[in-house]
Chain A
Amino acid sequence: GAVVSQHPSRVICKSGTSVKIECRSLDFQATTMFWYRQFPKQSLMLMATSNEGSKATYEQGVEKDKFLINHASLTLSTLTVTSAHPEDSSFYICSARANTEAFFGQGTRLTVV
């Protein structure tokens, strides 16, 4: 199957700083990528849908100025958590669409201290 690589897998940052998470489709081009957030022992909540070359579509309740998404190429989407706070600590997972399937990255564990 198609491979989606997410980096970094773990990151610890200080409160008030920004963190960038990369999501790459390694062997296919993804016109659409998705960013999810997963709280401990809970399901994945869709944050935004990212389309190459256009602005991301954010789900209700997600702050677009805090979670900046850039989809500059057909193989790369980035999520930047700006001015991170401890409540932003979570597991972030990206997904890339390939034809009729979605393939997931390994996830990024963000801890804000």
Chain B
Amino acid sequence: GDSVTQMEGPVTLSEEAFLTINCTYTATGYPSLFWYVQYPGEGLQLLLKATKADDKGSNKGFEATYRKETTSFHLEKGSVQVSDSAVYFCALRSWMDSSYKLIFGSGTRLLVRP
């Protein structure tokens, strides 16, 4: 079945460092891909998404490009801030699934130090 694999955390960075969180997926057809962020004690917020190959999703300085050839959707940010500390989830939605349910990766905790 469809699945998402994320790099294990935690990832600890200093403020203004470059961030990469790897995400690869296994799916049939052409899934839509998402990054969600979860701040402590809260639900998930959509960070960005891409619905077809070579699309780049971006928001709040974060970017991710849908790479079908490598089945990847890595999250990047050029300069992280302390406020970016959170758990980040990569997710996919199957193009065949009319219910729009999401399949999540295991999540990567990011800790940014001042």
B positions within 8 Å CB-CB of A: 32, 36, 41-46, 49, 89, 99-107, 109
Contact A93 B104 (CB under 8 A): no
Chain B residue nearest to A103 (CB atoms) is: B46
What residues of chain A lie closer than 8 Å to B109, measured between beta carbons? 41
A43 adjacent to B46 (CB under 8 Å): no
CB-CB under 8 A for A49 and B46, given A42-B106, A43-B89, A44-B89: no
Of B45, B99, B101, B109, most A-chain CB atoms within 10 Å? B101
Question: When A42-B106, A43-B89, A43-B106 are in contact, do A1 and B46 touch as well, CB less than 8 Å?
Answer: yes
Partner-B contacts on A (CB < 8 A)? 1, 4, 6, 32, 34, 41-44, 46, 49, 57, 93, 95, 97, 100-107, 109
State the Cβ distance, A100 to closest chain B Cβ, in Å. 7
Please report the C-alpha to C-alpha distance between residue A102 and residue B43 in the assembled complex, in whole angstroms: 12
User: Separation in Å of the A97 CB from the closest CB of chain B?
Assistant: 5
Q: In the complex, what residues of A have CB within 8 A of residue B46's CB?
A: 1, 101-103
Query: Taking CB as reference atom, which chain A residue is nearest B9?
Result: A41
Q: B105 touches which one: A1, A34, A43 (CB < 8 A)?
A: A43
Cα A44 to Cα B99 with chains together (Å): 17
Q: Which of B49, B102, B103 neighbours the largest number of chain A CB atoms within 10 Å of its CB?
A: B102
B residues near A44, Cβ cutoff 8 Å: 44, 89, 104
- Asked if A32 and B100 sit within 8 Å, CB to CB, the answer is yes
Partner of B43 from the list A41, A49, A97, A106 (CB cut-off 8 Å) is A106
**List of B residues within 8 angstroms of A57 by Cβ:** 99
